[in-house]
Amino acid sequence: MHRWFNRASVERISQGGLGASLNVSEDGNAPHPYGNAMRAYIPLLTQLVPLLTLMPYARNVGSARFRRWLVGLIPVPMVQRFKAIIDTMDTQARNIYATKTERKSHMQDGGKDIMSILSKVNAQTPEHSRLSEDELLGQMLLLIFAATDTTASILMTAFQLLAQCQDIQDRIKAEILAAHYQYGEEIPYEQLMALPLLDAVCRETLRLHPPVPYLIRQARRDLVLPPSKPLVGKDGTILQEVSVPMNTFIIVAVRGANFSRDIWGDDAEQWKPERWIEPLPASVSEARMPGVFSHMMTFNGGARSCVGYKFSLPEMKVVITMLLVSFKFFPSDIDNDIVWNLAIVRYPTVGKQSDRASLSMTVVPLSAQADDME
C-alpha cells in the first residue's frame, strides 16, 4: 500500500498541479524521472537532517554557482545522491514548464491545473510585480513536494484505521453509495465535502495522525512566550512565562498539540470520528489553537501554514470515495507488526529495525466478495 499510495499521490498532484502526467501509476509505463526523484527525496532528506543545520551559514558563502561547486566536492555518497535528485527535479520541472509555455493557448483558455492558472495570472500582472521563471518553478516544486509524501501518509493511515474498524468502513461506504444514488456517478464538490461521516473520518485522522508530526522553527528575535498554563521547571519553580533568545531553535510538537487532553478531553488519544459529528466541547474553541484548519495544528498556522491544505482535504475524500465503492479493506496478517516511524513525514515499516517503508493490507474487490457470498 505504501508504494501504491505514493505513486498515486505523485500522479494526482502532477495532474492537478502541473497539468502533466508523470506516468507513475501504471506498471506498463516507464516511471517519469521526476516521479522517481520525488519518491526518493523525503527518505534521503530525513537522513541528511543533521547537515541541514549548516544551511544558514552555507548561504553566505560565495555565489550560488560557487556553493554548488563546493557541494560537488563533498565526498559523502548520500550528499551526492541528494544533489542528483535536486538536479533531476529542476531539469524535469523546466522541461514541463517549457512545454506548457509553448502551449500558450492551454494556459489562457481552459487550463485548470494550478500552474496554468498561476501562469495566466502572472502574465496579466504588471511586469514589475511579475514572478520570474525561477520563481514560478520554485512554486511548482513546492506544490509537488508538499503534496506527495504527506498525502500518501495520511491516506495510508486512514485506510489502515478503516481496515481495523469495519463498522465505520461499512457506514462510510453506505453514505457514499447513497450520495451516488442521489447525484449520479460524479458527486458534486459541495455535496462530497458535506458527507458527515466521511468528513469526520478525515478530520479525526488528520487530528490524531498528522503526516508531519513536528516542525522546527527559529526565533528571529528575543521573545517571551506565555504558556497556556503554568509550567513546572526542573527545580520545581512555577513558570508563568518562557524566555526564548533570538536564534533559538524550537520544536513545534504538532501531534502533541492535536491531542491535548486539556482541549479534547480524556479520550483525546483515541481515534473517534464521531466526535466531529457531535458538538465539539467548548474547550476546543476556547483554546484558540492558531492552526489554519479545524482547531488543530496539522497544517500549521500563520504565514508559514501549508499552502495546499485546501487541495489535500478534497483529495483525501475523492480517493476514499473511489476506493471504498470498489474494494473492501481488511488488516493484513502482520498488521500488529506495523510501526509508524517519527520522521519529517511519518512512514510505516514492518518492525522497528526495518529501514524500508512498507504497509501491507488485505484488499478484496467487492465483485469477488459478492461471488464468495453467492
pLDDT in tens, 157-211: 999 999 999 999 999 999 999 999 999 989 999 999 999 999 999 999 999 999 9
Is 263 inside any structural domain?
no
- The packing angle between helices 2-13 and 33-47, to 10°, is 120
Position 181 in a domain: no
Considering the chain, what is the average pLDDT of its residues?
A: 85
Residues facing residue 24 across a β-bridge: none
Q: What is the largest CA-CA distance in the chain?
A: 73
190: amino acid identity, one letter: E
In a domain, 143, yes or no: yes
Q: What is the pLDDT of residues 230-280, one digit of tens each?
A: 999 889 999 999 999 998 989 999 999 999 999 999 999 999 999 999 999
Question: Looking at the domain assignment, is residue 35 inside a domain?
Answer: yes
User: Which pLDDT does position 31 carry in this prediction?
Assistant: 62
3-state secondary structure of 359: coil
Q: What DSSP state is assigned to residue 345?
A: S
Residue 138 is assigned to a structural domain of this protein: yes
Q: Could you give the CA distance from residue 104 to residue 110 in angstroms, rounded to a whole number? A: 11
User: Which domain range does residue 128 map to?
Assistant: 2-147
Total count of residues recorded for the chain: 374
Is position 251 within any domain? no
Total domain count, the chain: 1
Examine residue 128 and state whether it is found in any structural domain, yes or no.
yes
The answer to whether position 306 is within a domain reads no
Q: Give the contacts of 250 (CB within 8 A, at least 6 positions apart).
A: 216, 217, 218, 219, 244
Written as tens digits, the pLDDT of the chain (374 aa) is 888 888 888 788 778 777 777 766 555 556 667 767 776 777 777 777 777 666 666 777 778 788 888 888 888 888 899 889 888 888 877 877 777 766 654 445 557 777 778 878 888 899 888 888 888 888 777 777 777 788 889 999 999 999 999 999 999 999 999 999 999 989 999 999 999 999 999 999 999 999 999 988 889 999 998 888 899 988 999 999 999 999 898 999 999 999 999 999 999 999 999 999 999 999 998 988 889 999 999 999 888 888 778 888 999 999 999 999 999 999 999 888 999 988 888 889 988 777 788 899 999 998 855 455 44
Asked if residues 195 and 175 have their Cβ atoms less than 8 Å apart, the reply is yes
